[in-house]
Structure 1
Amino acid sequence: MKKVRKAVIPVAGFGTRMLPASKAIPKEMITLIDKPLIQYAVEEAINAGIETVIFVTSKHKKSIEDHFDRNFDLEEALKKGGKEKELEKIIELSNCCEIVSVRQKEQRGLGDAVYCAKNIVGDEPFAVILPDDVMLSKEPVIGQLIENYEKVGGSVIALQEVLPEDASKYGIVSVKDKVEDRLFLLDDMVEKPKKNPPSNYAIIGRYVLDSKVMTNIGETEPGALGEIQLTDAIKKEAFLGNVYGYLFKGERFDCGNVKGYLEAIINFALERDDLKDYLVEIIKNKFL
């Protein structure tokens, strides 16, 4: 079995749910406490053993690439100012892993965005990380999926249990069999079902996919609005019994909308020793 070495991170979208904040800067560069959202995604990949991160970008996203590049003027200024810790952080960031960028010239859905990385991924299994979904977990969520991929030898997608009334907001999986605690063999998935969802397990933005899924994307016809859906390509493998869902350990925050972003700020701040007491004191003074 080939090792999962590469992660595809699609960042070409307009980020309309975060307007006006995302008008002049990519939504992925919006800061969650002291790091942009995209950095959380890249760090998760690195901590899971990923060696190459592939950004699928558009012409408005150059600042994402710049964030992970060297900035010699800034480095020199930090050095002269004696800010060694800050200097160490930004140099470490630029050397974190191999970063490759490809362009999605036309927005034609998530499947098409992933397919833009086809030549770099090659015939290897690969991870997909959607940076809107920011994870708070002891073990990297994408690492949890990689571990299960190595166990079962088929594609593994991250699942989250949702309330029945919220099923229409997500892609929902159909479970064929329970393999073990948290791990399920899937046989179908339905995008945002308006009624009768096949389960209460929703797909969230983490995937470890066999190379056959990339081939399937290339053979998938565009659907509504001319978009090629990643789900359609995964379903082909699910029908063959090669797709699993894993109920990941941790918390997920949808930072593609204001409420999820605010929730993430509070939860991440409470996890930090340098911010927790300060945040609690603010809340006490304001509301108690």
Structure 2
Amino acid sequence: MVKQAVILAAGLGTRLHPITRVIPKPMLPIGTKPILDFVVEELEQAQIEDIIMVIGHKREIIQEYYRDNPKIRFVVQDQINGTAPALYLTKDLLRKEAFGICYADDIFDYTIPVMKQLIDQYQSLGARLVTGVEEVSRAELQIYNSLSLNPIKPDLFELHQIIEKPKDAFPSNYTSTGRFIATHELFDEIEQLRSDEGAEVYLTEAINRLISRGNAYGVTYEGKRWDTGTKENWIRTSSAFSHKQIE
């Protein structure tokens, strides 16, 4: 059973300046709750017992807000050098078994927590990696990613590659959302990545290496994803959740 998860929440939030100069992006409100609360609640409802939060910019605000939650531990990413190094900071805090990964930008409206849906699929498939996928427009693929995959069932795909922000190569209309289950082998793949000094190393590179080992799957989930990573999307999400009277 998957009982640990990592939330990557250390970004500078430059696309939401000037507000993120004083408030870390994951703490921006959706209704009267910060974005991070939706991610934490999803993990708690999925019976995750140990949540490791990678934080950086304005981290003291996040630490103070969650200081009374016994399930949350913090890791500080002092150098913003990419999502792969951010995740690698958690290696020694994770047991050598599968764990969840969440990008803090993405929150979900669901009946069954999306992370719980992925955990169930991971266990039934004996997978090395599982990610939530959804079908989107070509314009959205260019913002997110496009997946190379083969259908197994209407809601299940064998995953071959994640192509980030494609310009003209779109192997499918499916994109990977901000939720993963991965085995501890992912850290072996991060160790194999090299970067020029100062260059960011993206987690997708390591995930693609893990996918190449096989037993990697995309799962269409029940629920709706809301991206809060830009001003427009944050405002749209906040408006939608406010109409649902979520507090």
TM-score (norm 2): 0.93
State how far apart, in whole Å, the 1-side matches of 2:197 and 2:133 are: 24
Q: Which residue of 1 aligns with 2:34?
A: 36
Q: Which residue of 1 aligns with 2:160?
A: 187
State how far apart, in whole Å, the 1-side matches of 2:139 and 2:35 are: 28
User: Which gives a bigger RCO, structure 1 or 2 (Cα 8 Å, sep 6+)?
Assistant: 2
Could you tell me which amino acid in structure 1 is paired with residue 4 of structure 2?
K
Out of 102, 111, 116, the residue aligned to residue 143 of structure 1 is: 116
Could you tell me which amino acid in structure 2 is paired with residue 115 of structure 1?
Y
Partner SS for 2:20 = coil
Could you tell me which amino acid in structure 2 is paired with residue 255 of structure 1?
T
Larger radius of gyration: 1
Q: Which residue of 2 aligns with 1:267?
A: 240
Of Structure 1 and Structure 2, which has the larger fraction of its residues in helix?
1
Match status 1:216 vs 2:189: yes
Out of 121, 125, 132, the residue aligned to residue 152 of structure 1 is: 125
Cα distance 1:223–1:199, how it changes in 2: closer, same or farther (>3 A)? farther
Q: Which residue of 2 aligns with 1:60?
A: 58
Instruction: State the Cα distance separating 1:223 from its structure 2 match.
Output: 7.0
Alpha-carbon displacement from aligned partner over 1:231-271 (angstroms, at most 9, x marks no partner): 11111222222211112221111112122112212221232
Alpha-carbon displacement from aligned partner over 1:48-73 (angstroms, at most 9, x marks no partner): 1100110111262111111112xxxx
Match status 1:228 vs 2:228: no
Q: Which residue of 2 aligns with 1:134?
A: 107
Match status 1:173 vs 2:173: no
Contact 2:228 2:234 in 1 (8 A): yes
Contact 1:223 1:229 in 2 (8 A): no
State how far apart, in whole Å, the 1-side matches of 2:175 and 2:160 are: 14
State how far apart, in whole Å, the 1-side matches of 2:187 and 2:95 are: 9
**Identical residues among aligned pairs (%):** 31
State how far apart, in whole Å, the 2-side matches of 1:102 and 1:190 are: 28
TM-score (norm 1): 0.81
Q: Which residue of 1 aligns with 2:175?
A: 202
Instruction: State the Cα distance separating 1:224 from its structure 2 match.
Output: 10
Match status 1:8 vs 2:6: yes
Cα distance 1:165–1:32, how it changes in 2: closer, same or farther (>3 A)? closer
For this pair of structures, how many residues does the alignment match?
246
Instruction: State the Cα distance separating 1:180 from its structure 2 match.
Output: 2.2
Question: After TM superposition, where is structure 1 displaced by more than 6 Å over at least 4 residues in a row?
Answer: none
Contact 2:131 2:217 in 1 (8 A): yes
